[in-house]
Amino acid sequence: MKKSVLQSVLASHAAWLCGGVGGARADLMDANLKGADMRGANLSEANLWGADLWNANLMDANLMCANLKGANLSGANLTRADLTCASLRGAKLREANLSGANLSGANLTRADLTCASLRGAKLRDANLSGADLSGADLSAANLSGADWTGAYVWLGNRRAELK
């Protein structure tokens, strides 16, 4: 997606969030946003279902309640991003940097978090059912109330469920 088009979508979304005239909720379903620089962007409640955000910079972005089902966020920088209550069901977050991110109440069912950095992330009451956490860094993460049902890691050639 061209930078000018993305800026227009973000401006319209900001107007929508404020109840302004001419505003519209950001609909970036299946959008190609590879490598996009969206540092600090307000994408709360935006539709990013299936979007390709490979290697995108979303540092300090507001993605509260955003729909990121099936999105590719592999290699993305989500440092300190607010993903409270976001839907990341089936999302690819391989090698993503989620250090200090807020994922409280987020739905990460069957998400691929292989080798992701969740250092210091808030995962309070998050749903990690069936998530792949192989090689993920969860040091200093707040995991209170998180649902781990069926979450797993790969140990060599064998899958080990987390209990």
Q: pLDDT tens-digit profile of 28-50?
A: 999 999 999 999 999 999 999 99
Please choose, from the candidates 122, 154, 115, 150, the residue with its C-alpha nearest in 3D space to the C-alpha of residue 136: 115
Q: What pLDDT, on the 0 to 100 scale, is given for residue 20?
A: 79
**Residue type present at position 114:** T
Contact 135, 155 (CB under 8 A): no
* Tokens (6 digits) for 143: 């995991």
Q: What pLDDT, on the 0 to 100 scale, is given for residue 52?
A: 98
* Tokens (6 digits) for 117: 């950095």
What distance in Å separates the CA atoms of residue 27 and residue 86, rounded to the nearest whole number? Answer: 15
What distance in Å separates the CA atoms of residue 75 and residue 125, rounded to the nearest whole number? Answer: 24
Q: Residues 130-156: pLDDT tens digits?
A: 999 999 999 999 999 999 999 999 888
Please choose, from the candidates 82, 83, 90, the residue with its C-alpha nearest in 3D space to the C-alpha of residue 112: 90
The pTM score is: 0.95
What distance in Å separates the CA atoms of residue 44 and residue 19, rounded to the nearest whole number? Answer: 14
Phi/psi of residue 47, nearest 5 degrees: -100, 110
Q: Which domains does the chain have, with CATH numbers?
A: 27-163 (2.160.20.80)
What distance in Å separates the CA atoms of residue 78 and residue 128, rounded to the nearest whole number? Answer: 18
Helix residue ranges, H only, 64-158:
none
What distance in Å separates the CA atoms of residue 58 and residue 35, rounded to the nearest whole number? Answer: 10
Helix residue ranges, H only, the chain:
3-17
